[in-house]
Amino acid sequence: MATFTTAGAPAAPVPLEVARSARERRRGLLGREGVEGALLLSPASAVHTLGMRFAIDVAHLDRDLRVLAVRTMRPGRIGLPRLRARHVLEAEAGAMEHWGVRRGARLVLHGA
């Protein structure tokens, strides 16, 4: 399984699922009760939480995996596409702050 860290943050590597196919990206976290670690949708610039069972943190990333914006989305919401976003990282609400994923941070992928 792949993992990620944030450059300059002392946090342990975070388990990461990567959704590259259109089918995997469409499914995302739908139908799950939670997620261990995070899900990277690539390529993607927007997400929705229609049919979700829990709130999620969403980070929009540019082509260099630098965080453009982070927000928490409750179930039943539609997010707007983010200009310059090439990837979207999803995790359970509150997790990204703990991992050091904030605007301007850069993700480092391991084994992806």
DSSP code string of 77-108: -BPPPPTT--EEEEEETTHHHHHT--TT-BEE
Which pLDDT tens digit goes with each residue over 19-78?
A: 999 888 888 887 788 788 999 999 999 999 998 999 999 999 999 999 999 999 999 999
Polymer length of the chain? 112
Residue 23: φ, ψ to 5°: -65, -45
**Contact between 72 and 96 (Cβ < 8 Å):** no
pTM of the model: 0.92
Alpha carbon distance 105, 88 (integer Å): 14
CB 39 within 8 A of CB 56: no
